[in-house]
Structure formats: structure tokens, C-alpha cells
Structure 1
Amino acid sequence: MTLPPADSELGKLMATLPRAGRVEWIGLRPQRDVPMDEVDHAIAETGAGLVGDRYCGGSGKRGITLIQAEHLPAIAALSGHAAVAPATLRRNVVVSGLPLVALKGRRFRIGEVLLEGTDECDPCSRMEAALGPGGFNAMRGHGGLCARIVEGGTIHRGDTVVALADTTTES
């Protein structure tokens, strides 16, 4: 995705975020078909992923997956549940306070870790089993963001999530 020029009206609007975000939850998938492990911190390896996650070392574009905390109640409502636990949705990091869609095609920091938003994190067929019939569709548009780890480090629950200025990328 190529962002509009930073000096264009649309570029200025897309670069303006209301505030920084915050990491609310972190989870790792140690292997296929097992529950996620909730953790207080995770080590992000440059170009690889999160240590202890089954996808570490795979596609660099999907080194980490993020989901919007504010979307969890919407997913719950659309799937007929009172609430949905973050681990059910199988994303690595839950972020509040910042619209993740605005980070697609941009670089951003979570604490000391530098990330690049690469693509939307579309739901998979597992959401039918996790959320019940219609779970896949309940998550459409709410699946979150995939990101590449540009500079590794440790991500902690409570870390600030900040979009960086003038760092457009192509995906």
C-alpha cells in the first residue's frame, strides 16, 4: 500500500492520529491447535516474529498480529456472545486507543520495538469453531493488522504504541 504524499490534504489527514495507543494483552501460539499462552511480555526478533510463537521464523510480513481492543465487543456482539477473550481470536497483541487500520503501510513503535504495518489480518476459517456459526463473518473488518518486525526488542503489556511520522512503506 502506498500512502498519499505527506503534504497532500489526504496525507495530512491519514497522518493525524488522536493519541498514542497502549498494549492491553499479549499472547503466543506455541503450536497449531493449542490454546494461546497469555504473557506479560514477548521478545520480538527482527524479520522473524515473536519468540515462542509458532509463526516465528516464517513470513516476515506476518511477524506479529495485532487486534483493536475496541473491536472485541463488536466481534462479541456480532457473533452472539456477551464477551470474547483475546486468546479466542488468536492475535498476538491487543491494542487500545489507536486505530490500527491507520498503521497499515506505516512504521510504528511498541515500546522499543519498531514495526511496519504490512496488511490487514483477515479472519480464518477457525473462527467458525472459535465463535460459532458466522464467526468468520463476525470478524470481517475487525481482524486487525499484520506487521513486520523491523527492529526487535521486548514488548510489554502496558507499552505505548506510537505511529512514526514520514515513514511510508509499500506492501
Structure 2
Amino acid sequence: MQGKLAELIKTHAGAGRVDWIGVRPERLAEVLPVSSARIVKDGLEGDHGRSGKRAVTLLQAEHLPAIAALAHRGAVTAELLRRNLVVSGINLTALRNHRFRMGEAELEITTPCAPCSRMEAALGPGGYNAMRGHGGWCAQVVSPGLVSIGDMVERV
């Protein structure tokens, strides 16, 4: 049974895709969408940055409609949610504690990216709770490189 579960954990329906990239020049600055960014050891170049296990933040594109519905909004944009990368087509939760490649970079998802109190202001009353369970993931950089919108996301 152990071997079967291990095989299931390694199997994905296909590669994912980088849909959106954003950087914040300073901690509370607005998020600036970009078409590509160099991922360095401490995160995306041009981003105010974090480091280590929280160097890069990722959000599942498929969660955007769920967040909008739970916040009672028509739509929610990636900029509003302040993550670095939005990915579609591959389950980020299934990549936790595994290495994956996007563009030239290799990352490893390390911990959930919990919503902060700023989501209440960004999404309105209940915004914090609308994000719970949908806030995305933090990742550490294993190997730096360029990432661009449209790049594939695959487990290594």
C-alpha cells in the first residue's frame, strides 16, 4: 500500500502554468504586475522580499473565484491578494514539500501563506475569513532563474 500511495502522490494530470507575476518594491507598496522576473535566493528581484522558507508566495488561480464568492465580490484580482505568482492547472497543495520547476527556477513549497489583516481592508468585512484556506503557499528557492508568464510548472 505504501508504494501505491507514493506513486499516487507523484502523479499529476499534467503541468501547470504561470498565469501572473507581481512584485512589491516596498513592504506596503502596491503590487506591480510584470511579464517576467528573476527569482533569486531571497525571492523575486524587485520585490521587497522575504527569505528562506517564505521567499516566494504562490496562489492557485482556481481559488480566485472561491475567494470572490466567499467575500461576496464579483471578482478578485491577483494584485489585490498580494502574492508573487499565480499558477493554474496543477494543485499547489499536492506540491508541498516537493521540488518543482517553473521557468528556469526550482522552488520547494514549505508552508501555507496565511492571510493577513490587510485582506479585511482589501476585500471588505469578512475578507480575512474568505482567504482562510485559500491564501496560497510560501516557497523557498532551490535554484534561481527567470520565470515568465506562460511558463510550465512541473514537479521535479
TM-score, length-scaled by structure 1: 0.88
Over the aligned positions, Cα root-mean-square deviation in angstroms equals: 1.3
Residues 1:89 and 2:81 aligned together: yes
**Alignment: residue pair count:** 156
The aligned amino acid for 1:153 is G
| Residue 53 (1) aligns with residue 47 (2) | yes
Secondary structure at the aligned position of 1:8 is classed as helix
Partner of 1:20: 15
Aligned to 2:70: 78
Task: Please list the CA deviations of residues 107-165 of structure 1 after superposition, one character each: whole Å capped at 9, or x if unmatched.
Answer: 0000110111111111111110010111111011111111111110111010000012x
Aligned: 1:154 with 2:136: no
Any gaps of 5 or more consecutive residues in structure 1? 165-171
The offset of 1:31, in angstroms, is 0.8
Give CA-to-partner distance per residue, 1:50-88, whole Å, 9 cap, x none.
111111xx3211111110001000000100111001000
Secondary structure of residue in 1 paired with 2:57: strand
Q: Which runs of 5+ in 2 are unaligned?
A: none
Partner Cα distance (2:127, 2:5) in 1: 34
Task: Tell me, in whole angstroms, the C-alpha distance in 2 between the residues paired with 1:141 and 1:11.
Answer: 25
Q: CA deviation at 1:32?
A: 2.2
Q: Percent identity?
A: 55
1:50, 1:66 → 2: CA distance? 12
Length-normalised TM-score, structure 2: 0.96
